[in-house]
Structure 1
Amino acid sequence: MASTNTVPLPGPQTQLAWRAITTADLDSWHALIRRMVDVDKPGWAEDRADLEHALERPGNDPEQDSLLGVDADGVPRAFGLVNLNPGSVRAIGFGGVDPAWRRRGIGTAVYRWQAARARARVQEREGEDPVLRSYAEANNPSHLALLESVGARVVRYFTEMTRPLAGELPEARLPGGMEFQTFSDDISERLRAAHNEAFLDHWGSEPRDPENWRFTVGHPQFRPDWSFVVLDQSSGDIAAYQLASYDPESPQIFGYSEGYTELLGVLRPWRGKGIAPAMLAEAMRRFRESGMQNAGLGVDTENPSGALKIYEQLGYTPVSRQVVYDLALDAESS
């Protein structure tokens, strides 16, 4: 059940009226995010389906876990969300301010509301080091300055990378006794279990329950024809997998069409056999056959598996960086 602890809304000094986000706001909320994207040029932008899912996440209460600031004409100018997975004490904050309304203290007001809401929710749960986690684009100095000013600390960096698909593609191949199998509904639940196992030792990862997994593989941008598992032929087990997507707005945002690797995982018994490069080479072939100009992915730059080096060797180059901040919730916010 979601918390019943009510957190005060930002005050009138913001010159906005504040309330919870509802499904009736989806179109105008998405329009706000598009205005932000046009200015901030992030490595990834939320689709309308992502916003709808955010309001429907199990365990969250949109009435209390979402915030929308509207101007005198009812136009959304700022928003905030707090998500908390079942059993977790790591809340994820998501929000933003219309570029035309920045530098008025609105972003700080939204963040302080997020911190108060997250603190109210994690107080109901047992666990060490409860935090509010936020993601900021490295090329957005005002967002970085806001997070620094409220006492959040940098805990990780992620890099978005891309690779042109013109010319020769990598020759990496699967080891003997292994084969690709294109994604299908028949293998989806097995793949969910394999993903949760593969990411047990990945920083910041939490298991995906069936509902969140269905959203992942049912997302409008998901491309099942580009997605696949690697099967060990002797056992029939899933050894690895690659899930891909296509954002139809990528040419407008980046200047090129891009097939994107959303999830890439190799289960522990099959690591160190060169499967990841083979999967990315296969993904590139599928992307190019569908007319894509580039292949893209994101990487945890501190991943001890050496993933960044592998991607660089395959020709991927950085295009943007995301900074992850944590605010400790076991102490008062500054």
Structure 2
Amino acid sequence: MKTLTARSYQDERDLDAIANLINLCNTVDELEQGTSSNELHQSFTNPSFNPQQDTRIWEDETGQIIGYCNIYISEASNDPKDDADFNFYVRPTAQGGTLERDIFAWVEARAEEVRRERQKTINLVATARSDRAERIALLKRQGFQPWRYFFRMARSLAEPIPEPQFPQGFILRNPNPKIDAPAWVEMFNQTFIDHWNHHDLTLEQLNHELKNPNYNSQLDFVAISPENTFTAFCYCHINPEENTRSGRNEGWIGALGVRRGFRKQGLGRAMLLVGLHALKTAEVETAKLGVDADNPNGALQLYKSVGFHQLQTNIVYRKNLT
């Protein structure tokens, strides 16, 4: 094994090399995922992420990146526990050695810094696809236990899509990012406050997402009640770079929700159908989404009812730092 040097992310000059490593690992593991320097830049400029503190790079004597890890620690809240989600990648020729051990040691050390600062429990959180036996075994050896299950689902847009039906008096429109952002954030947080692992969205975070080059206001929808309350939303997105990498023509139902107090009226189904029609109008062939297998409001059943089928299962693993 070559001697490796660990360092933090420096600047945008690192992005291409990090993206190349991630794409290599995803190709070898057949994960059908990937990234680009543009996509990484969008993530690294998130106001809740500090790339100098929350990334680590391991490189050999030639400067080639052999390993990479990032950790996203939820912002401090009234919850007695915060989450530290991390992703890590090791060049296939270096897997199974000591680098994975070094990566986990860095993750725990960084999370411990935050735990001492906030004086609360930190959950270390990592995700593995259910068919990735080696990664699952690695997480278990490091003391992680399965915590939650998520499904990735897909639906062909060549199949007929029912027309959405809204309750009387509700208005559907595209939100105006400059005017509606505060009301949208309030709606989003009130919608997901009773969901697993919710952390409030901030106006700063939303504004960052709205600057994403792939954001399309024509794929962003909100339903407004007769009393002028933001009640439900469906945000869709298409990533041209992702489609180029995969050779497929796909779009995503990125966020879908109905505010508490307005559920059980058909708003969720109506908003989902609106999103599917919008993706089809954008000439997308397949719609995808992710869903919590234990969603308390029947989301899984809703998606199945409009033709979505399960593609894969992702398992969220957790380890507590107290």
Shared fold by TM > 0.5? yes
Per mean C-alpha deviation after superposition, the further-off stretch among 81-90 and 140-149 is 81-90
Tell me, yes or no, if structure 1 residue 329 matches structure 2 residue 301: no
Secondary structure of the corresponding residue to residue 223 of structure 2: strand
Aligned to 2:151: 159
Secondary structure of the corresponding residue to residue 205 of structure 2: helix
Secondary structure of the corresponding residue to residue 248 of structure 2: coil
Aligned to 2:9: 21
Q: 2:23·2:33 contact (CA, 8 Å) conserved in 1?
A: no
Tell me, yes or no, if structure 1 residue 283 matches structure 2 residue 275: yes
Q: 1:14·1:106 contact (CA, 8 Å) conserved in 2?
A: no
Tell me, yes or no, if structure 1 residue 217 matches structure 2 residue 205: no
2:126, 2:71 → 1: CA distance? 10
Show the 5 A alignment for 1:1-334: 15-23=3-11, 24-42=13-31, 45-58=34-47, 61-88=50-77, 89-127=82-120, 129-185=121-177, 186-232=179-225, 234-252=226-244, 255-330=247-322
> Structure 1 residues 103 and 86, CA, compared in 2 at 3 Å: closer, same or farther?
same
Percent identical residues: 26
Aligned to 1:10: none
Secondary structure of the corresponding residue to residue 240 of structure 2: coil
Deviation at 1:40, TM superposition (A): 3.0
> Structure 1 residues 121 and 53, CA, compared in 2 at 3 Å: closer, same or farther?
farther
Q: 2:111·2:122 contact (CA, 8 Å) conserved in 1?
A: no
Deviation at 1:90, TM superposition (A): 1.7
Deviation at 1:162, TM superposition (A): 0.7
2:248, 2:147 → 1: CA distance? 31
> Structure 1 residues 170 and 112, CA, compared in 2 at 3 Å: closer, same or farther?
farther
Secondary structure of the corresponding residue to residue 41 of structure 2: helix
Per mean C-alpha deviation after superposition, the further-off stretch among 55-64 and 145-154 is 55-64
1:215, 1:40 → 2: CA distance? 31
Q: Deviations for 1:40-90, whole angstroms, at most 9, x for unmatched residues? A: 344654453453354444465444322101122212121112222331522
User: What 5-or-longer segments of structure 1 have no aligned partner?
Assistant: 1-12
1:253, 1:159 → 2: CA distance? 22
Deviation at 1:179, TM superposition (A): 2.0
- TM-score (normalised: structure 2): 0.91
2:266, 2:32 → 1: CA distance? 28
Q: 1:224·1:244 contact (CA, 8 Å) conserved in 2?
A: no
Q: 2:9·2:56 contact (CA, 8 Å) conserved in 1?
A: yes
Q: Which amino acid aligns with 1:119?
A: E
Deviation at 1:228, TM superposition (A): 0.6
Secondary structure of the corresponding residue to residue 117 of structure 2: coil
Q: 2:73·2:85 contact (CA, 8 Å) conserved in 1?
A: yes
> Structure 1 residues 192 and 40, CA, compared in 2 at 3 Å: closer, same or farther?
farther
Q: Flag as ranges the 4+ runs of structure 1 deviating above 6 A.
A: none
Q: Which amino acid aligns with 1:179?
A: I
> Structure 1 residues 15 and 173, CA, compared in 2 at 3 Å: closer, same or farther?
farther
Q: Which amino acid aligns with 1:17?
A: T
CA RMSD in angstroms, aligned pairs only: 2.1
1:179, 1:98 → 2: CA distance? 51
Aligned to 1:6: none
User: What 5-or-longer segments of structure 2 have no aligned partner?
Assistant: none
1:239, 1:162 → 2: CA distance? 26
> Structure 1 residues 188 and 58, CA, compared in 2 at 3 Å: closer, same or farther?
closer
User: Would you say how many aligned residue pairs link Structure 1 and Structure 2?
Assistant: 316
2:244, 2:45 → 1: CA distance? 29
Q: 1:228·1:242 contact (CA, 8 Å) conserved in 2?
A: yes
Deviation at 1:25, TM superposition (A): 0.6
Deviation at 1:195, TM superposition (A): 0.6
Q: Which amino acid aligns with 2:53?
A: Q
Q: 2:67·2:88 contact (CA, 8 Å) conserved in 1?
A: yes
Aligned to 1:3: none
- TM-score (normalised: structure 1): 0.88
